Amino acid sequence: MSWRYFKPFSSVSYYTITGASLYFLLKDEKFKIVENSNKSETNKFPEFDLNWDHRAETALVKPFKDGSNASKQKSYSEKLEKYRSRAVRHILLIRHGQYFLNGTTDKERVLTQLGREQAKMTGNRLKELDIKITEAVVSTMTRAKETANILLNQLPQAKQLELKIDSILEEGAPLGPEPKFGSWRPMEYQFFVDGARIEAAFRKYFHRADPEQINDSLTLIVCHANVIRYFVCRALQWPPEAWLRFSLHHASITWISIYPNGEVVMKMYGDAGHMPKSHVTTRNIGD
């Protein structure tokens, strides 16, 4: 059949057919356009679990079925109030300063001169911020204890603090990272050994304030990069396997706040802005 027998499309017909074709094309899943990422049907990220530490008052008090009983309702409300958290817990995570990695034992893996200067600068930074520390904890490893001692010496209030040493904060391999990155390849069993310990450290230090705590508190923890990165993922309810996807500067400040209702806010991550460029490092001597 010859094309001369067809009348040319009018402009209206052309655009009508074109619009219809586009409509059916966009209905195809391969060409689907997300109009609003905030819509529940397109937002695949899970909701934040406010009872992540299992300390919400509603989880600690057994509910009753008869809601019409006024006396039971009053008793239930009183129990909820008794177990309700009231204060904010601030957790300040400090990575140790640069150190000599080539030591054969932990005692030989001491801070470099640069690492000592980094620790001092971070202590001065906390002093400038007028940080009121209520508890100070450090890993048992030499580089962490050196960093903590130098840092706390810059704070006038440090004389009133007892530096607690905790072995579960030692460096390790918390979880098999996804994806694998760099040349670091610990033996598979190391994740099994270290992972439970580092998870136990998270559960020990990360939780909302006890009901008896009235005033806000600030816990200073001096430890290690892998531990801190894992803590961040767990606290923010990110996939913990992502812990190796971000780096961490020596003697940097990471600040996480835990609110009475279970909300968690990271106010600072790996902050080393108080150091000159010459002092900002991530690698140790011997890496």
How far, CA to CA in Å, does 213 sit from each of 25, 132, 217, 255? 60, 16, 9, 20
Which whole number is the average pLDDT over 36-46? 56
Q: Kindly list the strands in the beta sheet with 253-258, ordered across the sheet, starting from the edge strand earlier in the chain.
A: 163-166, 135-139, 217-223, 89-95, 253-258, 264-271
- pLDDT at res. 233: 97
pLDDT in tens, 222-261: 999 999 999 999 999 999 999 999 999 999 999 999 999 9
- Which tokens go with 232? 């961040």
**For residue 262, is pLDDT > 90?**
yes
Concatenated DSSP letters of 228-275? HHHHHHHHTT--GGGGGGS---TT-EEEEEE-TTS-EEEEEEEE-TTS
- pLDDT at res. 44: 67
The C-alpha atoms of residue 150 and residue 209 are separated, in whole angstroms, by: 29
- pLDDT at res. 94: 98
Q: How many residues comprise the chain?
A: 287
pLDDT in tens, 95-104: 999 999 998 8
Q: Tokens 């961490």 correspond to what residue?
A: 248
- Which tokens go with 240? 């913990």
CATH number of 89-279: 3.40.50.1240
The C-alpha atoms of residue 193 and residue 272 are separated, in whole angstroms, by: 31
Q: How confident is the model at residue 188 (pLDDT cuts 50, 70, 90)?
A: confident
Cα pseudo-dihedral 212, 215, 218, 219, rounded to 10: -20
Highest averaged pLDDT of the listed ranges 2-6, 71-75, 188-192 = 188-192
Which segments within the chain are labelled E, that is strand? 89-95, 135-139, 163-166, 217-223, 253-258, 264-271
Nearest in space to 279 (alpha carbons), one of 94, 122, 109? 122
- pLDDT at res. 42: 54
Percent of the chain scoring above 90 in pLDDT: 65
Q: Would you kindly state where each structural domain of the chain is located, as residue ranges?
A: 89-279
